[in-house]
Structure 1
């Protein structure tokens, strides 16, 4: 398994060693990340898209744990506050219900055991990493303006420094209360096989129809948010069918369906798959240019068609058809860079994230990307860092991703899974808002098309296009190609000659983690993000 923090990786490994499943380990990892990386994700205040391969049935399901916009929201009220910090940016947090679905269907261990590492670390404390120092600095003014955040992250009036300890007693108490709700629910079921399911339902109810919903709604009412008790009571995460394309040689790439933006990665790969990549290198300017231009076309379609599928149907089958991919492929000019506005192709009208991956000895596999957005806001004395996902919606009434009560946001999280002859081959993800499908495509190509190992793939210099409206308000389309400082100078010169407006060393490049599995299902290779000092991968015997 692999994650962005060694404490989370260690927790997941301990759960696997104790007989837990990939689902148990995933929830343990996500819970520890909630504690040690509160700026990235939260099992309680955030949202999640994830893919799960069941080693027994060989089926893959996609977990949609993204809650709706609160029912008090209106476009008129939200628009003047769209760029402001606050509780009005939070959609209903869906992650917890999604994690409980995984444990209900695939878990082997009681919830208390799964949450124990996170509870222990939250109570005892953990050292501040250099990554955490960076993010706290970015959020310093918001921290100083919040009594809850100040208590957590200030020492004698200064931000906690790298190496200092942070404890989260309120968060520990909340996780403990959820574990107790599970225990009580399981006990009430008696000595039956339904104990685990009853305990999981009790933990779901404690959050969505009990004290935590009440606390979040009270805070929302106090500070101008849009969430109601009714919103919480009727919410349920979903297990849905993934979407996919065939690459070649029995390789199938799976993604999360809309309202996730994962379709953008699949569209770009569908454009690229007809090319002969043998003998090529990921650093060749022609290779890079073709990938960039394919990504731009995919993102133009994302902007035009991808939103809440319950409100505006998304033409998934058409967007992923081979005929349509051929049409888009013909629009790529190898000598010239396309710029926004880029027309959508169909004839229609219309970091602040973390990623981790787990496999177990039974052949189960989990690819996860879970997020808060970028806001740093704690709800009262719950210890819950809440999301800011409303900032990812449009205030343009004609946009498919427009703010509306009960709508679901076009979500940026989109981990991927690759099957080879029906069995897991690659599990991967990359953080960073609109960077995600682009960098994931680069890592997939590095391994599958160019033969690199996963660690080499995640270490490759990344390039990120912004030739489309950004996901986060105010949604600029900058027409800039961002490349890392390690990018080859000759490649930069070549791409500039084709018309790419290049910025070196600035941009959201995100963090990536990847697992490659051999044909027999054992872990062959792990790729842990080298840009992140705390990233860690481990093979559990």
Structure 2
């Protein structure tokens, strides 16, 4: 049975709780006030046998169908990922990369890194102009912008090692959607009009797919057929990932690059490997936290921020209070400062993850937070870790009837990536090379500042903020979540966790709650509309530079009740997403 999990354009109102701060050494935090289910302001989708939450209704249906056919959560996730390459080409992809976090019913948690890699000919200063300044056009919209894609390798590894159905079967729904066509929804129509006219229209192969004969992009309700993409997906179904990395698709990608000054070669494609990694783990108020390790910065900094927040009684401060937002924003500043200095590809730099996720280190940062006064970002530097050491995207979550759980965040980077379709493959290529630090100290497209640890090097994976996350309670999976949003992914996922644990919200309430974000530089507290004007004035009086800006994130989340019942929610900030179960 399919149920819509979105409550569109619901106006959010909340009563701000003004409470006294107990200090960094407060007593055991009080449990959040519970009013019972009748007081819930938003209600999640509810089902028992399996659930999928994604940004696109067609892709969600694909995942639910795989679960009904006997596939497990990994099978469904792989099928959803391939389907999104057809139905949500803004971010769904086989020409990009990302991360998968999975937890089995028995409690084993692992991750698969299928982040893009820099081609072997990539060089340290490849995105600098003649004056030595970073040139964003080179790193975002040129053929130099693409790293070697990892999605096909990642999905193939996951299916082979943890799935139960053949890869060819998992690809079939995507093949049919591409071959028969999809009806363009609001989200795709809006993005084709807004971004397609900026990045797709400049490339003949891309324009031929996404624009009609009269030169206008496809509109809502019209049918978009992607025959070349269907052919590429069929080759992968028949030949496996070798079709992409060594066969005809590799020829298309390498040929496109050679013709236009790009760097990805057939040797780069053949050398690509997805990597299984041990997740970052931590604890928060008795819950276990699992998230993505480097080259994602998400897991480390979610755990780091939670460690800092554990020193404060957020539940007593109350959701939406100036004190709670102040403490969380200040904690975020310290984490993003550390991100700029220490995070990069672990194959190339030593990432001090033990120090960054140390509760002792977090305690030193918590002691520097003043609930009454914001510390200017200019005064915050990356921390001294010596005593403690022993980045348009989409997310989807899946849980099956046995309790296996999968969280996947993957991307082309910005909407439609570089805008370049490789030859006749029908495959949009990423512009993930912008996630490297083109020049230390210079912000990327998301305003994130990086250093030498994230400098461009051959075969290196760029740093990411993607944060697929799983929370366990009493040894059992409790929450599966993640989000797109570039630099705001970390804080969006963080607030899903804090809203659920500290403020006692159900998964739909946690999803719908207004969000805020601070990333150290620029020194700005970004907030969505929906917070009390009184709260914003109090934050300004504390020294926060508050700016109301557009909505942040698009979480797709599933919570598992103690009786095994599944509760899911898609984000109302997106217009065509769906959570469904059976």
Answer yes or no: same fold by TM over 0.5: yes
The structural deviation recorded for 1:86 is: 1.5
Structural RMSD (CA): 1.7
The structural deviation recorded for 1:110 is: 2.1
Q: Which residue of 2 aligns with 1:500?
A: 544
Q: Which residue of 2 aligns with 1:447?
A: 500
**CA deviation profile, 1:120-148 (whole Å, cap 9, x unmatched):** 11122222222223322123132221112
1:517 to 539, 560, 565: 560
1:106 to 162, 169, 173: 162
The structural deviation recorded for 1:329 is: 0.5
Q: Which residue of 2 aligns with 1:63?
A: 112
Q: Which residue of 1 aligns with 2:125?
A: 76
* Higher RCO structure, 1 or 2 (CA under 8 Å, sep 6+): 2
Answer yes or no: is 1:533 the counterpart of 2:575: yes
CA distance in 2, matches of 1:153, 1:335: 52
2:91 to 40, 46, 49: 40
CA distance in 1, matches of 2:164, 2:349: 38
CA distance in 1, matches of 2:198, 2:484: 24
CA distance in 1, matches of 2:531, 2:429: 36
Answer yes or no: is 1:390 the counterpart of 2:423: no
Q: Aligned pair in 2 of structure 1 residues 442, 157: CA closer, same or farther (>3 Å)?
A: same
Of the structure 1 ranges 133-142 and 380-389, higher mean CA displacement relative to structure 2 is found in 133-142
**CA deviation profile, 1:470-491 (whole Å, cap 9, x unmatched):** xxxxxxxx22222112222111
Q: Which residue of 2 aligns with 1:189?
A: none
Aligned 1:151-162 pairs, distance under 5 A: 151-155=208-212, 156-162=214-220
Answer yes or no: is 1:123 the counterpart of 2:176: no
Q: Which residue of 2 aligns with 1:150?
A: 207
Structure 2 spans left out of the alignment, 5+ residues: 1-51, 441-450
The structural deviation recorded for 1:41 is: 2.5
Q: Which residue of 1 aligns with 2:384?
A: 346
CA distance in 1, matches of 2:302, 2:261: 36
Answer yes or no: is 1:4 the counterpart of 2:49: no
Q: Which residue of 1 aligns with 2:39?
A: none
CA distance in 1, matches of 2:268, 2:200: 28
CA distance in 1, matches of 2:84, 2:527: 28
Q: Which residue of 2 aligns with 1:138?
A: 195
CA distance in 2, matches of 1:427, 1:89: 32
The structural deviation recorded for 1:348 is: 6.0
* Count of residues paired in the alignment: 504
Q: Give TM-score, length-normalised by structure 1.
A: 0.90
CA distance in 2, matches of 1:77, 1:380: 24
Q: Check the 8 A contact 1:72/1:228 in 2, yes or no.
A: no
Aligned 1:259-338 pairs, distance under 5 A: 259-262=295-298, 263-338=300-375
Structure 1 spans left out of the alignment, 5+ residues: 182-202, 469-477
- Report runs of 4+ in structure 1 exceeding 6 Å deviation: none
Q: Check the 8 A contact 1:265/1:295 in 2, yes or no.
A: no
CA distance in 2, matches of 1:103, 1:453: 31
The structural deviation recorded for 1:210 is: 2.0
Q: Check the 8 A contact 1:50/1:414 in 2, yes or no.
A: no
Q: Which residue of 2 aligns with 1:423?
A: 476
**CA deviation profile, 1:231-277 (whole Å, cap 9, x unmatched):** 2222211111001111123x101111111011111111110012223
Q: Check the 8 A contact 1:41/1:352 in 2, yes or no.
A: no
1:52 to 89, 102, 115: 102
Aligned 1:144-293 pairs, distance under 5 A: 144-155=201-212, 156-181=214-239, 203-249=240-286, 251-262=287-298, 263-293=300-330
Q: Check the 8 A contact 1:70/1:405 in 2, yes or no.
A: yes
CA distance in 1, matches of 2:189, 2:293: 35
Q: Which residue of 1 aligns with 2:74?
A: 23
> SS where residue 295 of structure 1 aligns?
helix
Q: Check the 8 A contact 2:209/2:226 in 1, yes or no.
A: yes
The structural deviation recorded for 1:280 is: 4.2
CA distance in 1, matches of 2:385, 2:122: 32
